Amino acid sequence: MLLPLVLALHAAVAVLLPPLVRLLGARAFLVAALPPAVSAVWVLVQSPSIVSGAPAVSSVAWVPALGITFDFRVDALSLAMVLLVSGVGAAIFCYSAGYFHAGERGLGRLAAVLVLFSGAMLGVVTTDNLFALYVFWELTSVTSFLLVGHDDRKEHARRAATQALVTTAGFGLLMLIGFVLLGAIGGTYRISELVADPPVDSPWLPLALVLVLAGAFAKSAQAPLHFWLPGAMVAPTPVSAYLHAAAMVKGGVYLVARLAPGFADVDPWRALVLGFGVATMIVGGWRALRQDDLKLLLAYGTVSQLGFLIVLGGAGTHVAAIALIGVLLGHGFFKSTLFLTVGVIDHQTGTRSISGLSGIGRRMPVLAVAATLAAASMAGLPPLLGFVGKEAGLEAFVPGHAGDLPPAVALAVLAGLVVGSVLTFAYSARFVWGAFADKATVSERRFKRPSPAFTAAPVALGALSLALGLLPFAVDPVAQSYAAPFPAEKPYHLALWHGFTPALGLTVLVVAAGAAMFLRRRSVARLQNAMPRWPDAEVGYHLFVHAVYGTALSVTRRTQSGSLPVYLGIILATLLALPGVRLAAALVSGETPLPGGADFRFWDSPLEAVVAVIVVVTAVGTVREHRRFAALILISALGFGIAGLFVLHGAPDLALTLVLVETLTTIILVFVLRRLPATFSVRPNGWAKRMTVLLCSAAGTFIAVSLWLMTAARTEEPISTGFTDLAEETGGRNLVNIILADFRALDTFGEIVVLATAAVAVASLVLLNRRDRVVDEPTEEDAEEEAEAEAEGAAAAAPGAGPAPAGGAPADGAAPTDTRGGERP
Amino acid sequence: MNAPGFLLVVTVAVLYSSGFYLLLQRSLMRVVFGILILGHAANLSLMLTDTAITLPPLLTGQDGQISDPLPQAMALTAIVITFGVTTFLLALAYRVWLGDDNDEVPADLEDRRIGRLTEPEDSS
């Protein structure tokens, strides 16, 4: 099957696009239209067999050894989505060729990301695996982030992009948890198998569904998470038309509709889907009514329609499923037409504000007709596809026709849908009036007429709304095929005329009320302004983001003191807190006894005591000594003491080497110390110092005791037992030497390399000792910053002292500058 | 198997403690001393694995249990590497002193600056 190849084609074209855009300018978008066009044609060719109930299936082995495959499955629902994603996508790419100017900044990136998005969205709607779905899903989130933030020099574009990403991807993580739960309780990650055989007995299923729905609702901008969608309108109009009307925001609807046949009857599903859907439809419609920016009007309209779609997709009844396909396709066509129309108006006149447009209808008649058709489809007027879908949608909730829905629920949902539809009619009318009407109060702008090629895409998509409305039997087989799993009381078909049904009566009511609302728009506006502003989840988003930054800052402030001793101290404290506490607990409970009885030896020879005392005394002395040379002498003595211990333990080679090394170290230390001040800086004796002593003693004791226990717990013979025989072959007599020079010769070679590297590094550090070169390195700015930091530190130490005067920078900051000045004649 | 002698364990504990303490000081030279002592402590820890005092691991033909040569070989390597590291650190400390006129490790300025922030910087 071709589908994986089509997906690969998207990726390949995306890679080729940036150079093509440099070469051809915006015309390269015609090349970008190729992959979605191929995909749309492919799915149309397949459609007869798909709607007859034989999904197009393919799978590509990914990790065959683990049985992980990429499964693709195109059934009727996927078919409708592919038509939107790829069909509308191809039209929008063609439109983009006229919309963008060759000089547009980052156009190559935009084109490439848009094609990538198209491929990812195609993956979302065709994959049959939950994890693959998640990956494609988040790919659309990421590409959407890049597309919304296309104009990265504008701060509000970056903010909107971040907001869209955090909202959709954040809830996407919840969805992933839901997927994992679903797969774990269902025993498979194949969506088709899960839907066919849902694990309804599992107590985890409701939780899994709530999590999945959370992700789907965020993606499809359901209230109260809808705020990101109007924000995302800062994207270029073709991007908004594609991602935020036709394709991406339908992802959530798709997922809900995909799972509904299996899970609609599980308990919280219907309550959530119907509740949030109806609320979103009304909130979106209400907000759309008050927008002055045509694009924002459409954005809120999209929110409203997405609520409608979620209701239809999630209801899980036969008629609702049929209506879903009708509204899904209808919305995809009319909303993209309207967005592209706004794009044309904005492109030609430079504004998309209702209060700045007048007389557009007379100057762009063809576009006006196409957009009016699309708006009429949105409003649900015959003979358009939107009407066909909305009729079916209302019919689905007429009590008595609503399948297993309780009549009260059906009635409530129906009332909500009617209110939403009235609002939809009103804002559709407002859109047409705002975009095209002659307004007495607005002066006309001068603008160039758009070229026919530029308006071709919205006109074609608008015509499609009309054609499919007149020929609903072209869409009906798809809807029937999708709705087949739901039990049907009596057959229902998408059609313009069903007779005098309750739904038709409601449509008349909707039209009348909507028209009244539009005609009395001034009163409606007054009412809207009088209403208090509803609490908005956007406030919650900002609070959340602020809290995250605040927490990050305070955590950083507490953990990142910038002081090396503190960091090391934390490491030691962790060592004590985790394994240390465990060891102490094991010792106290007697789980791990200390070596005692026959195992306990105080020393191996009395001579050891003498050497050990020397070692301990010199070590403690080194710690306490503040004069450099005294400390140097003590640490050398310590080294020789260790060598003594080696001698006592039958390790003459070690002792020899250590004596040699200690001598060399001492000589080098003397050379270095000769140049340094005579004493170390002394820290005051305070509780901090006592704490440090305590911490270090505890850590040292912990390590020693663990070593004691571990060596006592040894059960195996040393592996060097067999070395004696092997040593015979080498002809040597000293086993340590044989190990170093024969058995582990490569290690020894590495050791030599380390020494050589250290020697080179030391030489370069020490020989490059011209003082003026060093002093030049820190710039003036650094010195100032350091001085400032010290001043701040002093101010912080003495609260209320106020900031140190700028002129009184500490002398250390200024000293190097003076020295340099003196040494450079 | 025998446990190592208690005296040796105490010595190792003192060495680790002293090494850690010096490592936590601000003076680079004391940090170098700390690493030196920790090196000694680690080498002595290797010696703990070989319990009883015995003859050196030399094949002289005479009878008697010889000590385990493997930890010795490891310790030998460690001694030499410690020497290399110490010399390098000393050179570094010397270099710091050349630049700053003292061998103290200063607090990280960038960290201090983050600590002074009260409002988040622009996220985007």
Nearest residue on chain A to B21, alpha-carbon basis: A696
What does the pLDDT read at residue B64?
Answer: 64
Residue A347 near residue A99 (C-beta atoms within 8 A): yes
Residue B36 located in a structural domain: yes
Range of the domain at B87: 6-54+67-100
Q: Which of A251-255, B23-27, B48-52 has the lowest mean pLDDT?
A: B48-52
Cα–Cα nearest to A381, from A457, A314, A432: A432
Which residues 637-666 of A are in CB contact (within 8 Å) with B? 638-639, 642, 645-646, 648-654, 657-658, 661, 664-665
Mean pLDDT of A30-49: 94
* CATH code of the domain in which B71 resides: 1.10.287
Chain centre to alpha carbon of residue B65: 31
pLDDT reading at A437 higher than 80 = yes
Yes or no, beta carbons of B57 and A766 under 8 Å apart: no
What percentage of chain A reaches a pLDDT higher than 90? 55
pLDDT reading at A230 higher than 60 = yes
Mean pLDDT of B51-60: 71
Mean pLDDT of A458-462: 92
Residue B118 located in a structural domain: no
Q: Mean pLDDT across chain A, nearest whole number?
A: 87
Question: Using 50, 70 and 90 to split pLDDT, how confident is the model at A801?
Answer: very low
| Residue A126, strand partner residues | none
Which residues 536-555 of A are in CB contact (within 8 Å) with B? 545-546, 549-550, 552-553
H/E run at residue B12: helix B6-23
Residue B33 located in a structural domain: yes
CA distance A63 to A654: 53
Q: Which of A371-375, A486-490, A679-683 has the lowest mean pLDDT?
A: A679-683
**More confident site: A605 or A20:** A20
CB atoms within 10 A of CB A155: 10
What does the pLDDT read at residue B101?
Answer: 74
What does DSSP assign to residue A70? E
Residue A220 near residue A144 (C-beta atoms within 8 A): no
Mean pLDDT of A683-698: 87
Q: Which of A216-230, A307-321, A559-573 has the lowest mean pLDDT?
A: A559-573
CA distance A537 to A528: 19
pLDDT reading at A326 higher than 60 = yes
pLDDT reading at B4 higher than 90 = no
Question: Using 50, 70 and 90 to split pLDDT, how confident is the model at B54?
Answer: low
What does the pLDDT read at residue A824?
Answer: 37
pLDDT reading at B52 higher than 50 = yes
User: Which of A639-648, A783-792, B101-110 has the largest mean confidence?
Assistant: A639-648
What's at A617, amino acid-wise? V
Residue A6 near residue A39 (C-beta atoms within 8 A): yes
What's at A489, amino acid-wise? E
Residue A524 near residue A517 (C-beta atoms within 8 A): yes
Label residues A67-84 b or e (16+ Cβ within 10 Å = b).
eebbbbbbbbbbbbbbbb
CB of A563 less than 8 A from some CB of B? yes
Per residue in A544-560, pLDDT (tens digit) is 889 988 898 888 887 77
A68 φ, ψ (degrees, to nearest 5) = -95, 125
Nearest residue on chain B to A149, alpha-carbon basis: B124
Mean pLDDT of A619-628: 91
What does the pLDDT read at residue B62?
Answer: 62
Q: Which of A477-491, A523-537, B47-61 has the lowest mean pLDDT?
A: B47-61
**More confident site: A426 or A722:** A426
- Looking at A187-204, list the stretches that DSSP marks H as alpha helix, in order from N- to C-terminal side: 191-196
Whether ipTM > 0.95 holds is: no
pLDDT reading at A610 higher than 90 = yes
CA distance B3 to A748: 30
Question: Using 50, 70 and 90 to split pLDDT, how confident is the model at B35?
Answer: very high
CA distance B68 to B57: 7
A585 φ, ψ (degrees, to nearest 5) = -65, -40
Yes or no, beta carbons of B112 and A755 under 8 Å apart: no
CA distance A768 to A774: 9
Question: Using 50, 70 and 90 to split pLDDT, how confident is the model at A821?
Answer: very low
Which residues 677-706 of A are in CB contact (within 8 Å) with B? 677, 680-681, 683, 692-693, 695-697, 699-701, 703-705
Cα–Cα nearest to B6, from A427, A117, A709: A709
CA distance A387 to A382: 5
CA distance A267 to A631: 76
Residue A175 near residue A135 (C-beta atoms within 8 A): no
Cα–Cα nearest to A683, from A620, A622, A626, A635: A626
- Mutation test of the interface with chain A: which of B28, B54, B82, B83, choosing the one with the most A Cβ atoms within 10 A? B83
| Residue A413, strand partner residues | none
What's at A71, amino acid-wise? D
Helix (H/G/I), strand (E/B), else coil: A334: helix
Which residues 126-155 of A are in CB contact (within 8 Å) with B? 155
Mean pLDDT of A664-672: 88
What does the pLDDT read at residue A720?
Answer: 79
Residue B1 located in a structural domain: no
CA distance A748 to A758: 15
**More confident site: A595 or A653:** A653
Mean pLDDT of A38-59: 91
Per residue in A726-754, pLDDT (tens digit) is 887 888 888 888 888 888 899 899 999 99
Residue B117 located in a structural domain: no
Tell me which residue has tokens 């050894």. Answer: A65
Yes or no, beta carbons of B24 and A700 under 8 Å apart: no
CA distance A220 to A209: 16
Yes or no, beta carbons of A620 and B14 under 8 Å apart: yes
Domain tally, chain B: 1
Nearest residue on chain B to A601, alpha-carbon basis: B5
Residue A214 near residue A181 (C-beta atoms within 8 A): no
CA distance A247 to A234: 17
What percentage of chain A reaches a pLDDT higher than 70? 92
Per residue in B62-112, pLDDT (tens digit) is 666 778 888 899 999 999 999 999 999 888 888 888 777 777 777 777 777
Using a CB-CB cut-off of 8 Å, the residues of chain A touching B67 are 649-651
CA distance A179 to A201: 17
pLDDT reading at A307 higher than 90 = yes
Nearest residue on chain B to A620, alpha-carbon basis: B18
Mean pLDDT of A130-153: 93
Pairing of strands A68-74, A56-63: antiparallel
What does the pLDDT read at residue B2?
Answer: 65
| Residue A68, strand partner residues | A63
Residue A691 near residue B112 (C-beta atoms within 8 A): no
The length of chain A in residues reads 825
Cα–Cα nearest to A712, from A599, A558, A586, A612: A599
What does the pLDDT read at residue A800?
Answer: 41
CB of A473 less than 8 A from some CB of B? no
CA distance A229 to A3: 30
Tokens for A102, please give them.
Answer: 């060759």
- Mutation test of the interface with chain A: which of B22, B45, B58, choosing the one with the most A Cβ atoms within 10 A? B58
Residue A240 near residue A352 (C-beta atoms within 8 A): no
Count residue pairs from A and B with Cβ separation < 8 A.
332
Q: Which residues contact B122 (CB under 8 A, 6 or more apart)?
A: A155
Report the residue from B25, B51, B76 with minimal CB separation from A740. Answer: B76
Mean pLDDT of A388-401: 89
What's at A390, amino acid-wise? K
Yes or no, beta carbons of B83 and A665 under 8 Å apart: yes
What does the pLDDT read at residue A767?
Answer: 81
Mean pLDDT of A531-539: 74
Residue B114 located in a structural domain: no
- Mutation test of the interface with chain B: which of A564, A769, A786, choosing the one with the most B Cβ atoms within 10 A? A564
Residue B112 located in a structural domain: no
What does the pLDDT read at residue A423?
Answer: 94
What does the pLDDT read at residue A534?
Answer: 67
Residue A109 near residue A18 (C-beta atoms within 8 A): yes
CA distance A465 to A475: 11
Rg (CA), chain A: 38
What does the pLDDT read at residue B123?
Answer: 43
Residue B37 located in a structural domain: yes
| Nearest CA distance, B60 vs chain A (angstrom) | 7
Tokens for B41, please give them.
Answer: 């402590």
